[in-house]
Structure 1
Amino acid sequence: MKLLLNIKKEKDDLGKQVNNLANILPLTTFLKNCTVLFLFAISITIQAQNIPSSGKKYILGDVTVQGNTSFSEQTIITYSGLSKGKEITIPGEDIGDAIKKLWNSKLFSDIEVYVTKIEDNVAYLEIRLSDLPQLNELKINGVKKGKTEGIIKDTKLTKGVKVTENLITTTKNFLTKKYKKEGYLNSKIHINTIEVKDSTPTARVNMVLNIDKGEKVKIKDIVFTGNDVLSNKMLRKSMKSTKKINRLRILKRSKFIDSAYQADLGKLIEKYKENGYRDARIVSDSIIKNDDNTISLKIGVLEGEQYTFGNITFIGNTVYSNEYLNRILRIRKGDTYNGVLLQKRIQDGSKPDAFDIANEYQNNGYLFSSVNPVEVGAANNVIDMEIRISEGKPAYFNNVTVVGNDKTNDHVIYREIRTRPGQLYSKANVVRTVRELGQLGFFDAQEISPNFNNPNPNEGTIDMEYSVKETGSSQIELQGGYGGGGFIGTLGLSFNNFSIKDIFKKDAYKPIPMGDGQKLALRLQASRFYQTYSFSFSEPWLGGKRPVQFSTSISHTKQFQYNYLTGNADKSQSFNITGITFGLAKRLQVPDDFFVLSQAIGYQRYDLNNYNTNLFTFGNGFSNNLSYTVGLSRNNTSVDPIYPTGGSNFNITAKVTLPYSLFNGVDYKALKTEYDALDLTNTTDYARASEIDQERYKWLEFYKVKFKGDWYTQITKDLVLRPSVEFGFLGAYNNNRGAIPFERFFLGGDGLGTYSLDGREAIALRGYPNQSLSDNDGGTIYNKFSLELRYPVTLKASAKIYALSFLEGGASFNSFRDYNPFDIKRSAGLGIRIFMPAFGLLGIDFGHGFDTIPSDTGTSHGWETHFIIGQQF
């Protein structure tokens, strides 16, 4: 007697059909030598001689294994369950179950089970199979090398994986769908396998994956049908990311992206809902391929009828009155129905700090509250609404923890946290805490995550965990540029998370004492014409109890006279400035705690050694500058200080000195009259003029007011608009003394090239050379207007990169008689910023100046390149 069971499978999922196969096929229908039946794509052949038509029980004798396999015979037999001495039924389920087990292991192909002989009630079996081949090498053609690693990860085509027909089919389908979503509708994927012939017993294949993405398909036209109320133009406009070909459009491309298209279909329906057509729906959408390798989109809509709001009733509210909730909702009976607006007024998912009903509850402790709008009537196209509110118990913070800070000490973080154990829950405080931690500059702002743990609605408690990821906060500053006829280099060390209390602890130098949030900076800047040295230190929480920042700085500058004949520095003529400053800055509570009041007292000593300028006549002498500076600032920009997406930052400062002319007894009017009458070409008169200037500037007398404001608006998901305004004015108490020759404004360039350091301020205005838009002596008034459009390339922790375009305009003036805020020098250009923890901030701008400067002869200045380099560790 001989029984042959032969099961071949072409696809993995066909293994599900092997149960009860022996029972499904009656033996009486078999031919004597070979009968072949096809069922569920499985080929089963049973050869039988004198086999009874019904199953009979046998004891397994010996089971052998044949075929191309690297597995041991005993392993295969054990895994199949066909062990010697086991009682089985032939025909029956036992052999089918064994085949199914072997097939589901995804290790074998061409599995065949034979009954080699039967003696009395003992059956002898033979299992014939082959190992599935393993992937040896994979070659991917048609994509960049940087993309291959991602493809291997997504498709799991790693070395050693078993290569099946299902794997090949799945890989093709996955890549085809992937590229279709990216806009490559005509992509083609080909996979070839080549058997590896060597002495290795394991079956192996090399795989070649050929990817032909083709070109992204552009949208020639978008056609709507069924729309009578909303025009084609309005519907196309509502589709933010799916646009037809328009040569004049720059920011939005016309290439078809399936995922963006599906999202835009939802936005199209939202546009109807905003206009009262709540029943609007898309009844059809199709892609039509054109002969010129473009596509047209045909979208059918059913608009329905327009609805209005009827009665709006609040149910379940005990904390807030109906009148108060209506003031937040701001929707009245008779208003055109707007489902999108209704949802935003109830709970705006796009803004965590939005003024809506859900946030009003969340900000006042009701973490477990829910607000659900329900339509209770729609008669005559008037929708009556019930706003059903479940307030729940007020929630209190239980445990508040921080994870992820390895360098920064806990107390530096906890003092910025607005959520305390035992405190009533407030969503606004959670959002503000995330913002404050991001503004510290010690953590990656994009990675700060507030995690809600162990919420307990019954007890009204919640655990809060803030997860942070530290980044490099200390910096080596390297800057280079050209100005004043030479190269200007800057080297600085800035430790932005310093710990001065650990300065004498040897173990704390990793490489420096860190963790207390203090800032320590050393800076050296030099060129052929000047040298400057500075040291500064700041403690953001003086005493550790209140956010009162203490800061101090010491600086020394030595500047040499420029020799116009040789173009070199004359070191026998020098101008030295030595200064020291102490400051305090306090966070205010009124009008809100985004305001900071800062105050500083500074002293500067100006020493001139045979150093003459056009601003005053004495070349040997000194001036003293004792000043008081007060500033008011407000900064509520969003979390990431590198790339803010919202909020504003403004600063107004006033720097004043004592009005010495009121009490020092000097008649400056008489000195001015005498000075004006002198002949400076006469040696004696010039000497007298020097004495008068020395008296006028022995103690500097002035006041200086500056304002700067930046606003950030996220106009789309990826675009941020930053308008900016600046203004500065240097004035005198006594017109007979006049404006001082120091502290003046020098406009133009990148704001870095400070060739002359007579207390001046360098104001950046790209597209022009450094300090080229002011007189040689500087201006006493300036204004500047700037508009930047920013686009984030990546905001990952490893590198934050954004591109920008800008429009700028500004000018400096010598007096209010000359001041005209509209008489400005204009420029425009492009730039890029790269921030990496290993290198700090890198930037380059290409600006085109549209107006002339005194040294230019053309109608416009032309292009200028500006750059900065910073290295961070």
Structure 2
Amino acid sequence: LLDDAEDAFEDYMDDNDRVPFIFTILEGAQYRIGKIQIEYGRFVKGEFQEITTKQIPEFKPIIPPEVLKSIISSEEGDVFHPNYLRNEELEDSDQEVIDDAYGSRAYIDTSVSVVQAPNLKDNTMDITFQVKEGNHFFEDNGELKWERRPIKVGLVKIEGNTKTKDFVIRRELSISPGEPFDLGKMENSRRRIEGLRLFKGVSARPEYSDRERGSTIENLVIGVRETNTGRFQIGGGLSTDSGAFAHVILSQDNFDIMRWRRPHFLQGAGQKVHLKTIAGGQLNYYELDFQEPWFMGRKLKFSTSIYSREMEYFHDKFDVEETGIRIGLERAFFGDENFRGKLRYTVEDAGLVDMKSTASTELLAEEGMNLYSVISPGLVYDTRGGGYLPNKGQRSSIDLEYSGSALGSDKEFYGIHLKSAWYFKGLGEGHVLEFLTQAKSYDSLEGGDTIPYLYRPYLGGSKNLRAYPYREVGPRGSAGDYIGGNTMMHATMEYSVPTPFQIMRLATFYDVGVLNANSYDFATGGYNDDYGFGIRLEIPFLGPVRLDYAFPLTDDGFNGGGGRFSINMGYTTSF
């Protein structure tokens, strides 16, 4: 019979190149959670031994059972999901939540196991969490005893940093020797070090040395893997605002201005230095940036930038030249890294040159170079995640600017700029909704209402109203030139979705904005708006690129027309 079956199977395979498979699935009854119990104890020879007040009258758990039940997601009567109990990919699985609760109290020796007991009669699953709160139970002359003290940090050991100096890592720690060994602070420290973007990988763990009973000291081990933090790039780009350009970028994100010895010449202190050169038909740009994240040993970011720019794309009636230096300070407020204050001081020689005689009288009056000395304090609150395209959080800021003769400036004015960008998960997997809004107004301190052209708010171009040419929205001069305004309001809403191609996303958007001639004039009657569609590309060695095609809706009768194509760098709309 077996030989006959094998012959029949071979004949069948000779005649058919595909074999049908039928899977019969018996789903059975849906199980719900029955009783949830919390047991405390110790493991003896691999077996859990529950400890109660009957064995040790003075025993009291670190976290009472009612508190543990309140913080886990499983509840009696809910549908039973095994993954909710313990899952490496779920940060909020029940066991992870319990581990974190003990870890934040410095009881790092805690372990949690789960026992499941099905009830076939009523289709429920009883769950018992067996909690070993540490090595608190011991036997002394055959008598079971109990003592409990939280673990404290002993030494903090740094491993793997062959190039980066120890203090660059240690200053990011939120936990110190002698403090309770809070696993939450340990993880926060790991994330802060990872956020430096100086290392290929970062780990943080207790050393778990062989402590004697009664010892409350445990060492913390921080492990890092060094990576190349220098960059030399020769390339090019294209913007519909400034045209095509070539660039050379030389940067080091782990710079050390004081290290002049090899093998790690000028590296290892966590400073940043960037040298950028851009050359194009309408733009020439040179900039040297330096940043010290811990100025004078304090958590105070110091930055400075020296720059020179020649720009021909601002207007067809003149060119723009700027040469200056900018110095800035920035630090977190109230112990919250998301809430930061900043102070910048800029001194620059800037102005409109090569002015054509056909320009409006308002622009002709601006011809020439002026010295600007500007101080700008600001606040920013940023809760976005990392990456090119956040899908949650916000970035909101307020910036003030003051330019006056007391600072040595040729022009006297002040202004305020409010910005807010919000990011949300969309309707499907990978969908993102962006909502951005801003308002900006400047006023003169010289008895008139004229603000220097280079500091006036503007609209139009690939970064705000995409259906309109660069800076061609708002008030117009005597010869019909767009001359900018003193008050601007703008909002953008964009929805983007992923595609089967990893490097590409599709987007649709709506832009609206108004630019008024007078200071603090927030009337919306003269608004312009548009809608459109776009492609977001992540190109290797170049970065994210935005391709948009926008159609004007409401124009001023002069800047309208058909659709307009724009291209720019970045995934998100910037302002």
**What amino acid sits opposite 2:454 in the alignment?**
F
Asked if the contact 1:529–1:562 (Cα under 8 Å) also holds between the matched residues in 2, the reply is: no
The counterpart of 1:810, out of the listed 508, 511, 529, is 511
Partner of 1:784: 492
User: Hey, what's the Cα distance between the residues in 1 that align with 2:17 and 2:491?
Assistant: 53
- 2:226 is paired with a residue of what secondary structure? coil
Partner of 2:538: 832
User: Hey, what's the Cα distance between the residues in 2 that align with 1:547 and 1:294?
Assistant: 67
Asked if the contact 1:377–1:384 (Cα under 8 Å) also holds between the matched residues in 2, the reply is: yes
Partner of 1:578: 323
Task: Measure how far apart 1:633 and its partner are.
Answer: 2.9
- 1:339 has 2:47 as partner: no
Cα deviation per residue 1:7-58 (whole Å; 9 max; x = unaligned)? Answer: xxxxxxxxxxxxxxxxxxxxxxxxxxxxxxxxxxxxxxxxxxxxxxxxxxxx
Cα deviation per residue 1:378-404 (whole Å; 9 max; x = unaligned)? Answer: 475565544332110544444433333
**What amino acid sits opposite 1:627 in the alignment?**
I
- 1:400 has 2:156 as partner: yes
- 2:25 is paired with a residue of what secondary structure? strand
Partner of 2:9: none
- 1:443 has 2:182 as partner: no
User: Hey, what's the Cα distance between the residues in 1 that align with 2:363 and 2:219?
Assistant: 69
Partner of 2:3: none
User: Hey, what's the Cα distance between the residues in 1 that align with 2:189 and 2:92?
Assistant: 13
- 1:388 has 2:130 as partner: yes
- 1:412 is paired with a residue of what secondary structure? helix
Partner of 1:556: 308
User: Hey, what's the Cα distance between the residues in 2 that align with 1:532 and 1:809?
Assistant: 32
- 1:322 has 2:23 as partner: no
- 1:603 has 2:347 as partner: yes
Asked if the contact 2:241–2:470 (Cα under 8 Å) also holds between the matched residues in 1, the reply is: no
Partner of 2:97: 356
TM-score normalised by L of structure 2: 0.70
Task: Measure how far apart 1:619 and its partner are.
Answer: 4.0
Asked if the contact 2:473–2:559 (Cα under 8 Å) also holds between the matched residues in 1, the reply is: no
Partner of 1:256: none
**What amino acid sits opposite 1:606 in the alignment?**
A
The counterpart of 1:473, out of the listed 210, 215, 230, is 230
Task: Measure how far apart 1:851 and its partner are.
Answer: 5.1
Change (3 A) 1:353 1:386: closer
User: Hey, what's the Cα distance between the residues in 2 that align with 1:367 and 1:791?
Assistant: 44
**What amino acid sits opposite 1:771 in the alignment?**
Y
User: Hey, what's the Cα distance between the residues in 1 that align with 2:185 and 2:499?
Assistant: 29
Question: Superposed, which structure 2 residues align to 1:243-262 within 5 Å?
Answer: none
What count of residue pairs does the alignment treat as equivalent? Answer: 492
Partner of 1:540: 293
User: Hey, what's the Cα distance between the residues in 2 that align with 1:383 and 1:802?
Assistant: 45
Asked if the contact 2:116–2:127 (Cα under 8 Å) also holds between the matched residues in 1, the reply is: yes
Higher Cα Rg: structure 1 or 2? 1
- 1:501 is paired with a residue of what secondary structure? coil
Change (3 A) 1:818 1:336: same
The counterpart of 2:26, out of the listed 288, 301, 311, is 301
TM-score normalised by L of structure 1: 0.49
Asked if the contact 1:765–1:808 (Cα under 8 Å) also holds between the matched residues in 2, the reply is: no
Change (3 A) 1:582 1:467: closer
User: Hey, what's the Cα distance between the residues in 2 that align with 1:307 and 1:771?
Assistant: 62
**What amino acid sits opposite 2:244 in the alignment?**
F
- 1:417 has 2:417 as partner: no
Partner of 1:492: 249
**Larger RCO of the pair (alpha carbons < 8 Å, separation 6+):** 2
Asked if the contact 1:747–1:812 (Cα under 8 Å) also holds between the matched residues in 2, the reply is: no
- 1:726 has 2:483 as partner: no
Change (3 A) 1:842 1:364: same
User: Hey, what's the Cα distance between the residues in 2 that align with 1:497 and 1:553?
Assistant: 17
Task: Measure how far apart 1:311 and its partner are.
Answer: 5.8
Change (3 A) 1:631 1:409: same
User: Hey, what's the Cα distance between the residues in 2 that align with 1:375 and 1:561?
Assistant: 70
User: Hey, what's the Cα distance between the residues in 1 that align with 2:535 and 2:419?
Assistant: 26
- 1:369 has 2:125 as partner: no
Task: Measure how far apart 1:531 and its partner are.
Answer: 3.3
Cα deviation per residue 1:802-844 (whole Å; 9 max; x = unaligned)? Answer: 543433332432143237999443223241243xxxx5x4344
- 2:199 is paired with a residue of what secondary structure? coil
Change (3 A) 1:508 1:535: same
Asked if the contact 2:513–2:528 (Cα under 8 Å) also holds between the matched residues in 1, the reply is: no
Change (3 A) 1:418 1:466: farther
- 2:189 is paired with a residue of what secondary structure? helix
- 2:100 is paired with a residue of what secondary structure? helix
Percent of residue pairs bearing the same amino acid type: 17
Structure with the bigger percentage of helix: 1
Asked if the contact 1:829–1:848 (Cα under 8 Å) also holds between the matched residues in 2, the reply is: no
User: Hey, what's the Cα distance between the residues in 2 that align with 1:820 and 1:562?
Assistant: 22
User: Hey, what's the Cα distance between the residues in 1 that align with 2:319 and 2:36?
Assistant: 81
Change (3 A) 1:376 1:822: farther
Task: Measure how far apart 1:319 and its partner are.
Answer: 1.2
Asked if the contact 2:471–2:484 (Cα under 8 Å) also holds between the matched residues in 1, the reply is: no
Change (3 A) 1:396 1:770: farther
Change (3 A) 1:303 1:732: same
Change (3 A) 1:300 1:618: same
Task: Measure how far apart 1:857 and its partner are.
Answer: 4.7
User: Hey, what's the Cα distance between the residues in 1 that align with 2:399 and 2:349?
Assistant: 20
Change (3 A) 1:323 1:482: closer
Task: Measure how far apart 1:368 and its partner are.
Answer: 1.9
Change (3 A) 1:733 1:748: closer
* Consecutive unaligned residues in structure 1, runs of 5 or more: 1-289, 565-569, 664-694, 750-762, 794-800, 869-873
Asked if the contact 1:805–1:830 (Cα under 8 Å) also holds between the matched residues in 2, the reply is: yes
Q: Aligned-residue CA RMSD in angstroms?
A: 4.4
The counterpart of 2:399, out of the listed 654, 665, 690, is 654
Task: Measure how far apart 1:365 and its partner are.
Answer: 1.7
User: Hey, what's the Cα distance between the residues in 2 that align with 1:771 and 1:518?
Assistant: 36
User: Hey, what's the Cα distance between the residues in 1 that align with 2:61 and 2:232?
Assistant: 54
Question: Superposed, which structure 2 residues align to 1:858-869 within 5 Å?
Answer: 858=562, 860-861=563-564
User: Hey, what's the Cα distance between the residues in 2 that align with 1:401 and 1:846?
Assistant: 48
Asked if the contact 1:645–1:720 (Cα under 8 Å) also holds between the matched residues in 2, the reply is: no
- 1:814 is paired with a residue of what secondary structure? strand
Task: Measure how far apart 1:792 and its partner are.
Answer: 11
Partner of 2:57: none
Partner of 2:414: 701
Task: Measure how far apart 1:323 and its partner are.
Answer: 3.6
Asked if the contact 2:241–2:313 (Cα under 8 Å) also holds between the matched residues in 1, the reply is: no
User: Hey, what's the Cα distance between the residues in 2 that align with 1:390 and 1:467?
Assistant: 31
Structure with the bigger percentage of strand: 2
Partner of 1:737: 449
Change (3 A) 1:349 1:384: same
Partner of 2:54: none
Partner of 1:524: 277
**What amino acid sits opposite 2:278 in the alignment?**
Q
User: Hey, what's the Cα distance between the residues in 1 that align with 2:17 and 2:248?
Assistant: 58
Cα deviation per residue 1:835-860 (whole Å; 9 max; x = unaligned)? Answer: xxxx5x434444444557977754x4
Change (3 A) 1:350 1:578: same
Change (3 A) 1:630 1:291: farther
Asked if the contact 2:231–2:251 (Cα under 8 Å) also holds between the matched residues in 1, the reply is: yes
- 2:34 is paired with a residue of what secondary structure? strand
User: Hey, what's the Cα distance between the residues in 1 that align with 2:277 and 2:496?
Assistant: 31
- 1:701 is paired with a residue of what secondary structure? strand
